[in-house]
Structure 1
Amino acid sequence: MSPAPTDPCWQAFDLSDSLRWSAQAEGDLGLRMLIASQLALQRFDKVVLIGTDCPSLTSACIQTAVQQLNQHDAVMIPAADGGYVLLGFREVDDSLFSDIVWSTPSVAAVTKQRIAALGWTLTLFDPLHDIDEPTDLKHLPSGWLDSYINIKVDNS
């Protein structure tokens, strides 16, 4: 995470003590994801990386993706804009995150090619829309804003 877990900003959140926190590595997005994946795989047998900008990515969808890793080496939910909103795997390879031009329409395609080159099996889900630009707001799920406002009101 960034800022680091010791940053005072995190003290305002009432997050579960069961969460495992670690500071985010320095470097580009690919290097940060690679290092986070390597660290996670030292403790767990699967890693699922998710974006925080896809309100359509539900917990049920994430659980289904995790379950697919019981039969497949990797799982991906592409983003409609060419990236991905979820990438999961049982082992990590540097090629998944190196020499990629992030935030471009080719990210998911390049990643799929590299997974194939590794000889891994891949479960591919239908694309979801992430929210990168103001014009993407039209892809917010119906009622999403109302749910968010109700949560904020209930927790105040």
Structure 2
Amino acid sequence: MTETTLVLVCKRPAYGSSKQRLSASLGQEGARRIAEALLACALEDVRDWPGPVVIAPAHPSDYAWAASLLPQLQPKIHIVPQTDGNLGQRLNAVDHNLRDRGIAHLIYIGSDAPVLAATDYSAARAALLKHDTVLKPAVDGGVVLMGSRLRWPMLDALPWSTSHLGSALAGCCRGAGQSLAMLTQSFDVDEEQDVFRLLTALKADHRPARRALYQLTCDIVSMGEPGDVQV
């Protein structure tokens, strides 16, 4: 079977810049804590990945930070910082960098989809054996996973961070002549309502980072921070 590389596209959690759509209800510190817990979940998946891994931090200045995240997995992990531009431009730049190295099968994830599980990754790897591209849609209209065995078409003009992103991305890939597989829908954590979804989605998840995120979510909600709702 062709080896598949996992690419984690992430931003360094920081007070005042992490998960800003959550900060209105959680506060800046609450948003930062959620961002750190979400990143820990993504790193949990990186540790379990059976093949090579690339971490793509948001800024070249975060190279050392990214390299320090999972030192026990070196040299399995490679660091490829993102460049300037919108998300589409940055993904294209990372993708071109990796494909110029001869890497064919690439699966991209962000750091905000903690419901992703081993079955999802297995399904994505299997899909790339029969299709050029695989997408896992999100309930908000985005995607929580995107993979391809070909270079991505130009992604700069897509409506990133909108409810139309998923359909536009699928159309862009089909328009480039790529065969497409769609996995089952999931969700990522961007809005206050997504935090509440975690209470149900992670309740029976025993992976350590997911347990920690679940407990953090319970603590935040019980304190009444998100919309002052008690559970």
Shared fold (TM-score greater than 0.5)? yes
Give aligned pairs, total.
150
Q: 2:97 is matched with which residue: 39, 60, 72?
A: 39
Aligned counterpart, 2:84: 26
TM-score with structure 1 setting the length = 0.83
Separation in 2, partners of 1:117, 1:49: 20
Q: 1:61 is matched with which residue: 104, 110, 120?
A: 120
Measured against aligned partners, the alpha-carbon deviations of 1:71-128 in whole angstroms (never above 9, x if no partner) come to: 1010000111001111111112433x12112110100111111122122211101110
Q: Does 1:71 pair with 2:130?
A: yes
Separation in 2, partners of 1:136, 1:151: 16
Unaligned runs of 5+ in 2: 1-56, 214-231
Aligned counterpart, 2:160: 102
Give RMSD over aligned pairs: 2.4
Q: Percent of counterpart pairs with the same letter?
A: 23
Report the more deviating stretch, 80-89 or 132-141: 132-141
Post-superposition offset of 1:36: 0.8
Q: 2:69 is matched with which residue: 4, 10, 13?
A: 13
Matched-pair contact (CA < 8 Å) for 2:202–2:210: no
Post-superposition offset of 1:133: 1.4
SS at match of 2:79: coil
Equivalences for 1:101-120 in 2 at 5 Å?
Answer: 101-120=159-178
Change (3 A) 1:10 1:115: closer
Separation in 2, partners of 1:119, 1:146: 39
TM-score with structure 2 setting the length = 0.58
Change (3 A) 1:131 1:6: closer
Separation in 2, partners of 1:118, 1:83: 20
Post-superposition offset of 1:67: 2.0
